[in-house]
């Protein structure tokens, strides 16, 4: 195992979309890391002062078009990666970082537990990380915390688990417009399912959360079923980035159920919709003792995701080399 860092860990942010900017702000606010660079290949961003992009002071950093340039001569840096949700689309970026010997913590949802959907890519990453002697990790608030790592932590106080049910309800009006569009707000039912079929709509990572949840609770699920369905507006809804008319799609309901020999053991239910009532995060573990944990209002996903990456970076420098999951991180800071 590598030695724990003795000072702030140098970090570089890759991807300066909405979440990437949140990560950069979280890094600037942290005493555990030092933001030394930012990377984005968009022509409108390359060369710009990072302070202009973020709308707040960011030393004299400018946006680079490559990780190697952003790192410069600094050693021991960690890449805070936020460019995509689908693992095949970002593999080249991850492998480039590992080739440079840089640990990676990424928002890529499919990287949180890639062994189900992308076993060959997982094997490639494991080999590259081992050869580089560094760790690579996918995390965030969901997957990465609320519906998996937190559940596993709560389960430490239980005996053998019979079943776990995790419910997350998000009023999309409190989130950015891009997320409201991503869950189908304003669409017709036909348009909703067309985009679902094209994998252009819905939450990426719920299956990965279910697998992590099962693993963290000692459950051996051998089959998973996933469902995505529209949530319709029962009346005209305002207050979001745009109005949603009665009868149109307000958002989505998505679930994953994990089975062990035909018996339901894990159920994750996620509702993200404009005007969703009673926002919350709720964990119910059927065990001895039975445990219920509820967060009224739910956790603000964007800011929480940014902090999960920043807080993981120092832990990653002291972790075993290889492809890790959040279950292998220390519980505390």
SS3 of 161, please? coil
Q: pLDDT band for position 331 (50/70/90)?
A: confident
Q: pLDDT band for position 4 (50/70/90)?
A: low
In terms of residue numbers, what domain contains 30? 9-139+303-328
pLDDT in tens, 293-330: 999 999 988 899 999 999 999 999 999 999 999 999 98
Output the six-digit token pair for 279. 């926002």
Q: pLDDT band for position 121 (50/70/90)?
A: very high
- Identify whether residues 121 and 170 lie together within a single domain: no
CATH of residue 65's domain is 3.40.50.720
Q: With 60 as the cut, is the pLDDT of residue 192 above it?
A: yes
- Per-residue confidence (pLDDT) for residue 61, from 0 to 100: 95
Q: With 60 as the cut, is the pLDDT of residue 256 above it?
A: yes
- Identify whether residues 229 and 91 lie together within a single domain: no
Q: Residue 64 domain-assigned?
A: yes
Residue 6: how many CA atoms within 13 Å on its side-chain side?
Answer: 1
Q: How does the average pLDDT of the chain come out, rounded?
A: 95
Q: Residue 273 domain-assigned?
A: yes
Q: Residue 233 domain-assigned?
A: yes
- Identify whether residues 317 and 293 lie together within a single domain: no
Q: How far apart are CA 13 and CA 63, in angstroms?
A: 10
Instruction: Confirm if 2 and 316 have CB atoms less than 8 A apart.
Output: no
pLDDT in tens, 285-302: 999 999 999 999 999 888
Q: Residue 113 domain-assigned?
A: yes
Q: With 80 as the cut, is the pLDDT of residue 5 above it?
A: no
Output the six-digit token pair for 265. 């053991």
- Per-residue confidence (pLDDT) for residue 178, from 0 to 100: 87
Contacts of 251 (CB under 8 A, 6+ apart): 172, 180, 183, 184, 185, 230, 231, 271, 272, 273, 274, 276
Residue 147: how many CA atoms within 13 Å on its side-chain side?
Answer: 32
pLDDT in tens, 203-239: 999 999 999 999 999 999 999 999 999 999 999 999 8
Output the six-digit token pair for 305. 């995701």
Q: Residue 2 domain-assigned?
A: no
Q: Residue 36 domain-assigned?
A: yes
**What percent of the chain has pLDDT above 70?**
98
Residue 150 CB neighbour total at 10 angstroms: 22
Q: Residue 144 domain-assigned?
A: no
- Identify whether residues 20 and 119 lie together within a single domain: yes
- Per-residue confidence (pLDDT) for residue 3, from 0 to 100: 54
- Identify whether residues 95 and 153 lie together within a single domain: no
CATH of residue 155's domain is 3.30.360
- Identify whether residues 191 and 205 lie together within a single domain: yes
- Identify whether residues 69 and 183 lie together within a single domain: no
- Identify whether residues 127 and 220 lie together within a single domain: no
- Identify whether residues 163 and 292 lie together within a single domain: yes
Q: Residue 333 domain-assigned?
A: no
- Identify whether residues 257 and 322 lie together within a single domain: no
Q: With 80 as the cut, is the pLDDT of residue 114 above it?
A: yes
Q: pLDDT band for position 163 (50/70/90)?
A: very high
- Identify whether residues 307 and 279 lie together within a single domain: no
Q: With 80 as the cut, is the pLDDT of residue 2 above it?
A: no
Query: What backbone phi and psi angles, to 5 degrees, belong to 35?
Result: -75, 115
**What percent of the chain has pLDDT above 90?**
89
Give the total number of structural domains in the chain: 2
- Identify whether residues 49 and 168 lie together within a single domain: no
């Amino acid at each position: 195992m590598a030695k724990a860092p003795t000072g702030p860990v140098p970090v570089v942010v890759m991807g300066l979309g909405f979440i990437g900017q949140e990560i950069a702000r979280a890094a600037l606010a942290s005493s555990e890391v030092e933001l030394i660079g930012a990377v984005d290949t968009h022509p409108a961003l390359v060369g710009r002062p990072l302070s202009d992009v973020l709308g707040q002071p960011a030393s004299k950093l400018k946006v680079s078009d490559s990780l190697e340039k952003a790192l410069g001569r600094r050693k021991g840096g960690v890449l805070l990666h936020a460019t995509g949700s689908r693992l095949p689309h970002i593999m080249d970026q991850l492998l480039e970082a590992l080739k440079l010997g840089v640990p990676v913590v990424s928002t890529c949802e499919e990287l949180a537990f890639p062994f189900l959907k992308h076993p060959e890519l997982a094997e490639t990453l494991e080999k590259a990380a081992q050869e580089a002697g560094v760790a690579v990790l996918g995390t965030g608030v969901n997957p990465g915390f609320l519906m998996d790592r937190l559940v596993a932590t709560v389960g430490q106080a239980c005996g053998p688990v019979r079943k776990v049910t995790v419910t997350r309800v998000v009023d999309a009006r409190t989130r950015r417009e891009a997320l409201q569009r991503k869950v189908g707000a304003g669409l017709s039912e036909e348009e909703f399912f067309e985009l679902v079929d094209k994998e252009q709509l819905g939450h990426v990572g719920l299956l990965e959360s279910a697998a992590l949840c099962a693993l963290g609770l000692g459950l051996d699920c051998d089959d998973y079923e996933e469902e995505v369905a529209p949530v319709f507006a029962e009346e005209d809804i305002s207050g979001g980035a745009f109005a949603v008319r009665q009868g149109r799609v307000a958002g989505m309901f998505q679930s994953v159920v994990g089975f062990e020999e035909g018996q339901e053991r894990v159920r994750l239910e996620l509702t993200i919709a404009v005007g969703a009532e009673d926002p919350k995060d709720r964990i119910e573990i059927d065990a001895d003792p039975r445990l219920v944990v509820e967060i009224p209002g739910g956790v603000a996903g964007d800011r929480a995701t940014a902090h999960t990456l920043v807080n993981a970076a120092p832990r990653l420098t002291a972790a075993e080399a290889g492809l890790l999951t959040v279950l292998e991180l220390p519980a505390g800071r």
